[in-house]
Amino acid sequence: MKFSKTRKKPDTEALAAETARKAAQDWLPFNDLHDGLLYRTDGTVVGGVSVAPFSLALKATSEKRTIIGVIHAAVNGLDQPWEILSMFRPVDLDTYLSSLDDRAGNTDPGRRLVLTKYMTWVAGIIHGGEAVERKYYLLVSRKGKDAPQEHRANLPQLAQDMQRARGLQVKVMTDQDWQELLFLSFQANHAAVESVPDGLGRIPPIIDYGG
């Protein structure tokens, strides 16, 4: 007596999800991110420094010249390709507006009128897209098997050179800084109301670069 063999039907939903994941991953221009370095698909290793939000317009003319001179000297000393990114991030002021509304409801009529006008002004800034902060990144690209070690040796000095400009807060980028930059790049619409997801981990596939 023969028994017919039955084949298990593939999980179409799981197959579609896996296909979508691979397609999205193939679209990304990098393979891995760890130890503060981004490994691109073309073999380039990218490191960088991040600069905290900073307003040059508030500085005196002499201070502006000094800051520009320091930055120019720092980047002029780089012997590898580099680029400066200026990223806008919307600031979530909903909690601030709610606190103002609560305060207006518990004050005298005179102060309530002033607070109401101020709340209208803040709301106008939000709806006009002006409630943003700007972050800066200086990225340096290197190639070769020694690229990771060269980044780790040179980036701290770059950050130190840039911090000679009074008021600049510069640090070597960590994995968290890279995740924030990628989040701002790929999920800009959510940046105002969502924080950078925790536990992103390393991006598969993990490639051993020998470093």
According to CATH, what is the number of the domain 28-89+133-211?
3.30.70
- Secondary structure of residue 123 in the 3-state scheme: helix
| Domain boundaries along the sequence of the chain | 28-89+133-211, 92-130
pLDDT of residue 209: 35
- Secondary structure of residue 94 in the 3-state scheme: helix
d(CA 17, CA 14): 5
pLDDT of residue 20: 58
d(CA 165, CA 162): 6
d(CA 153, CA 140): 13
Distance of CA 92 to the CA centre of its chain: 16
Query: Going residue by residue through the chain (211 aa), what tens digit of pLDDT does each one get?
Result: 554 445 555 567 766 666 655 555 667 778 889 999 999 989 999 999 999 888 888 888 999 999 999 999 999 999 999 999 988 777 777 788 888 888 888 888 888 888 888 888 888 877 776 777 788 999 999 999 999 999 999 999 999 999 998 888 999 999 999 988 888 877 655 555 555 555 444 443 333 333 3
In the structure encoding, which two tokens stand for residue 146, read together?
């020694």
d(CA 84, CA 180): 16
Could you tell me the pTM of the whole model? 0.66
